[in-house]
Amino acid sequence: MGCDVTFGTNAEKRPLFRASGKTSDNKNIPHINAFVPSQQRWVFEWIFEDGFPSILDRTALSKTCMILTDQDTQLVGTLLAKLHEHGRIRTYGWALNRLCSWHKYGEIVFVSLTLHVLFSYAQLLQSYFSPISTF
């Protein structure tokens, strides 16, 4: 399962929480799309403790192996607390939290490429506007 929050998708400027999974033939399927009031911890606690178990099949949730997230501290903190709780029935089985590779590396590569392109463009402009030497 993968969980992420995106911004700028609606007129109210509210965060959009999305959860999706993969089928046995490696196709992405969206499970939940929800406009949430904020990205505070209580919102994610409600999603993982009440929302998912109410909407999704509990047997399928207990067979979850991995939950991918970005590096949002509120989302990850809540999820880790839920995954490591003791003394209660484990809603998500023995699932592990992993960081999405796009959020770990893709943004760094994107920023690096953007800076490289801007630097190259600046060099081009500098060479275009530099004085021409005459002999």
Question: What pLDDT score does 15 carry?
Answer: 93
Tell me how far apart the alpha carbons of residues 22 and 28 are, in angstroms, rounded to a whole number.
Answer: 5
Q: Are 101 and 66 in contact (CB under 8 A)?
A: no
**Which two structure tokens, joined as six digits, stand for 63?**
């067979």
Per-residue pLDDT of the chain (135 residues; tens, 9 = 90+): 889 898 888 888 899 999 998 887 888 888 889 999 999 999 999 999 999 999 988 888 888 888 888 888 888 889 888 888 766 667 888 888 888 766 566 556 556 666 666 777 677 666 666 666 565
Q: What are the tokens at 80? A: 């880790």
Q: How buried is 130 (Cβ within 10 angstroms: 0-12 exposed, 13-18 middle, 19+ buried)? A: exposed
pLDDT score of 10: 83
- How far is the C-alpha of 123 from the C-alpha of 128, rounded, in Å? 9
pLDDT at position 133: 58
pLDDT of residue 106: 57
- The count of other CB atoms within 10 Å of the CB of residue 135 is 2
